[in-house]
A and B are shown apart, each in its own frame.
Chain A
Amino acid sequence: MKYVDEFRDAATVQALAERIAQSATRNWTLMEVCGGQTHAIVKHGLDRLLPPSLTLIHGPGCPVCVTPQHVIDQALSLAQRPEVIFCSFGDMLRVPGSHTDLQSIKAQGGDVRMVYSPVDAVTLARQNPGREVVFFAVGFETTAPATALAARQARALNLDNFSLLVAHVCVPPALQALLSTPDNRMQGLLAAGHVCAVMGYWEYQPIVESFHVPIVVTGFEPVDILRGVLACVEELERGEATVVNAYARAVTREGNVPAQQLLKEVFEPVDLAWRGLGTIPLSGLGLAPSYRRFDAAERFETAGLVSSESALCRSGEVLTGRLDPRQCPAFGKECTPDTPLGATMVSSEGACAAYYRYRHGQ
């Protein structure tokens, strides 16, 4: 596939790994923010190509994983309602709530549909005027514009049987929260390239200035990731902390302006609870007043839900880079992809899932 295969070239990966080894003269700890990058690193063994002086820790960039338990339970409660067609990305289907998950609800007769795009849920609402179609809007700034477009379409069509359970999260406030923790270990950050394709990287300038940590906008293919690592190591070795764009084919400083305008029209920043990080001010997107009639949390009564989490699951520590999944006592024992205790074991961006899939038993 053009613009994919070239960035998986083994000889280039090798050359970049050698260059990184030559450049790193001291110990450095970098965090890749996005779970998609974590999976690429573990899948392709990129961490094993790096010199021992470099440590990669995995960040909170798995939206399904950071969604707190009470929101998952709210989703499950909506999915169980007989009048509801509950639409979700496939990534969420096996995430455990307090008592069940979407896949089990579907197996028991609930109308749970996996959709490719939020706009597909708008189509379902048009096709099923007698049913309530709810889309579970989870994701970072990469995904939020697609949700915003669905909301705009629903408003233009005047659909009264379409609503959104919104759990969209924003990267920069979470990075600030992570960098502010007293036990922060990261000295450099690989920023999530597709978030930046939408938002640009101007938002990171104040962060590198406040925390003196270089941030490198990084893509997702093996070559892109090592290029990001190299740029970050070079910054650290020079004692610099700037924002570097190592994914220029997809990202510009200002980002996708029409998409940002769409976000501004449909959403407003809200305080949000993150699994592992607690409540972070203005780190989420809620529906703006003119779109609030599409808010599933207001349309349906879900008060009185009592959430509980596995006492064994340490996904909060995994999501903040404080625990390697393999150090979790439950990893591969009580917690497997078939019997997950937390979202990090089943999401396609969860760090536990990456290690179980590509490294377990090695």
Chain B
Amino acid sequence: MCLALPGQILSIDHDDDPLTRKGRIQFGGVVKEASLACVPEAGIGDYVIVHAGFAISRLDEEEAEATLREFAALSRLQDDKSAGADLHAPRPKGGVHG
């Protein structure tokens, strides 16, 4: 139920009324309406995280890009490590950790 997805704001209606401010939001190939009542800072082109037809947060694109750069660096680091001594070492066999 806490499922929420990031989508991009295509247009905004009722921009002057905080109670009914809403937008058309694009999620991949799907466009849906969502309330923008609680993300007054979000404008057209911004990404918002939408849950139950309600934008709960404006997605911070700089933070997202910083996280992705961090992962790219981590992947390179792990590649370098794997290219070292234990390339063919068996991976720890993960059991089911219910």
Contacts and interface: CB of A to CB of B under 8 A. Distances in A.
Contacts of B68: 6
Contacts of A62: 1
Contacts of B87: none
B2 A140 contact: yes
A116 B5 CA distance: 14
A146 B51 contact: yes
A263 to B, nearest CB: 10
Contact of A91 (B1, B19, B61): B1
A146 B35 contact: yes
B98 A117 contact: no
Given A145-B54, A258-B18, 12 more contacts: A12-B74, A15-B77, A16-B74, A18-B81, A140-B2, A197-B56, A248-B63, A249-B60, A249-B64, A258-B39, A259-B38, A324-B98
Contacts of A192: 2
Interface string B66-88: 11100100110111011000000
11 contacts: A3-B59, A14-B78, A15-B75, A18-B81, A89-B1, A116-B53, A117-B52, A143-B1, A146-B52, A197-B56, A349-B2
Interface stretch (A43-51, A97-105, A280-288): A43-51
Interface of A: 1-4, 6, 9, 11-12, 14-16, 18-19, 21, 34-36, 47-52, 54-58, 61-64, 89, 91, 116-120, 138-140, 142-143, 145-146, 149, 152-153, 156, 192, 194-195, 197-198, 220, 223, 227, 248-252, 256, 258-259, 262, 324-327, 347-349, 355, 359
Interface string B32-54: 00110111100000010101111
Interface of B: 1-6, 8, 18-20, 27-28, 34-35, 37-40, 47, 49, 51-54, 56-57, 59-61, 63-64, 66-68, 71, 74-75, 77-79, 81-82, 92-98
7 nearest A-B pairs in the assembled complex, by CB-CB distance: A117-B53, A324-B98, A146-B54, A249-B64, A15-B78, A1-B28, A197-B57
Contact of A258 (B40, B64, B92): B40
